[in-house]
Amino acid sequence: MYRDHWHALKVRASTHYVYSYVESFNESSGFPSFNASTGSLSAKIDVAQPLSVTVGDYPLYLIGHAAATSFTGPGRDQLGFDHFYELGVALGYRQVALGLQAVLGPDVDGLTITLDYGF
């Protein structure tokens, strides 16, 4: 994870790779055994700008969020898509942020309400 301050901006960026492997064991008779593996690679960035509004001695922050996720492995398109993007905005106070982000991609669209601690 990368965290830094660029003048008044707080910047946080990260990448994650997740690998999952599933295998059946001790199946009941009549049920087939199976195994599967997949993974996902994500890159995310958050940029927080302090606003002129304060609560107590602490400023409110306007936070922009962007991310991209791609599935990897042989079953990466099992959901009908193999990648998606997230774009969002949040309002932060001290270490807590509440926001809304859009999830976009081929055959993917939606909205997510976010609650982040430690921005």
Per-residue pLDDT reduced to its tens digit, 50-84: 999 999 999 999 999 999 999 998 878 888 899 99
Domain membership flag for residue 4? no
Domain membership flag for residue 3? no
Inform me whether the pLDDT recorded for 27 exceeds 90: no
Residue 94 is predicted with a pLDDT of: 92
The domain of 79 spans 10-117
Beta strands in 1-119 (DSSP E): 2-6, 9-23, 35-55, 58-72, 83-93, 96-105, 108-117
Q: How many domains does the chain have?
A: 1
Specify whether the CB–CB gap between 117 and 94 falls below 8 A: no
d(CA 25, CA 21): 13
